[in-house]
Copies of this chain bind each other. A is one copy, B any other.
Amino acid sequence: MSQLLRPVIIALGLTLLWQCIVWTTDAPRYILPGPLSVIATLIEQLPLLLRHAGVTLAEILIGLLLGVVLGLISALSLATWGGLKRWLMPVLVISQAIPVFALAPVLMLWLGYGMASKIAMATLIIYFPVTAACFDGLRQTPTAYLKLARTLGADKRTQLLQIRLPAALPAFGSGLRVAASVAPIGAVVGEWVGSSTGLGYLMLNANARMQVDLMFAALLILALIAVSLYFLIDLIARRLVPWQSDTLNSPTTGRSRSR
């Protein structure tokens, strides 16, 4: 019951907040439209919005998949070849620091203006947080577990896959969560740089035509996708580490006992 109610209340609360901002700052409609007119536009233009949202969603999902898989592989490789880290880490950081926008023309040249380049953007954006988080997790494996594994005859690869990896899963979960929340940006930015479909394209177009309502409606859908994605991933990340107790949901937080 409260599981279903909560999102509704949150949505209503945010809408109210939004409306209040509009009222208090007296923001003109063409900069920050009120929620009501946006929702009206949303309903009116739903087919159009859904069509574009489908494209963006596909880009996000494929980008997320690729980014996570690549990130995981990179983290594992970095952890396997200890020396590699010192050489590759700066490269990874550089790759992260170069704004994807700047790479966009190069990517477009190689991948064209189709979906591939947007997926590449989303992948690029997701890649680093996943790699960094997972690698941090891998390198903080308790030493004693590794010693035990060695006496048990585990070679380096097995140590990595059977000891380090499970021990790093909580950290990997954190990485996944961050990835899930930045993936939509990746796709949308990709669409801004060049495309003819997708929510990012729609937003750019609506913005240029002063259809700010439509732009915010697209934004709303994007936010919805992002939130759903996040909570889905959160669920998966929790499933990954069933042995890890969430000490915030348990009463350990210091409920005082009266008996």
Contact = CB atoms under 8 A, between A and B. Distances in A.
A230 interface: yes
Contact of A159 (B82, B97, B170, B253): B253
Contact of A87 (B10, B101, B128, B174): B10
A252 B143 contact: yes
A86 to B, nearest CB: 6
A186 B222 CA distance: 20
A62 to B, nearest CB: 17
Copies held by the complex: 2
Contacts of A102: 203, 207, 215, 219
A226 B25 CA distance: 36
Interface in A100-155: 101-102, 105-106, 109-110, 128-129, 132-133, 136-143, 146-147, 150, 154-155
Given A230-B93, A254-B156, A143 B247 contact: yes
Q: What size tier do the contact residues of chain A reach?
A: 35 or more
A90 interface: yes
B178 A178 contact: yes
B188 A99 contact: yes
Contact of A156 (B79, B86, B133, B253): B253
A105 B31 contact: yes
A133 B254 contact: no
A191 to B, nearest CB: 10
6 smallest A-B Cβ distances: which pairs?
Answer: A97-B226, A136-B174, A139-B248, A96-B181, A93-B230, A156-B254
26 contacts: A6-B86, A7-B90, A10-B87, A10-B90, A10-B91, A90-B230, A93-B226, A94-B227, A96-B181, A96-B182, A97-B223, A97-B227, A98-B222, A98-B223, A101-B189, A102-B215, A105-B207, A132-B174, A132-B181, A136-B170, A136-B173, A136-B177, A150-B254, A159-B254, A164-B247, A171-B171
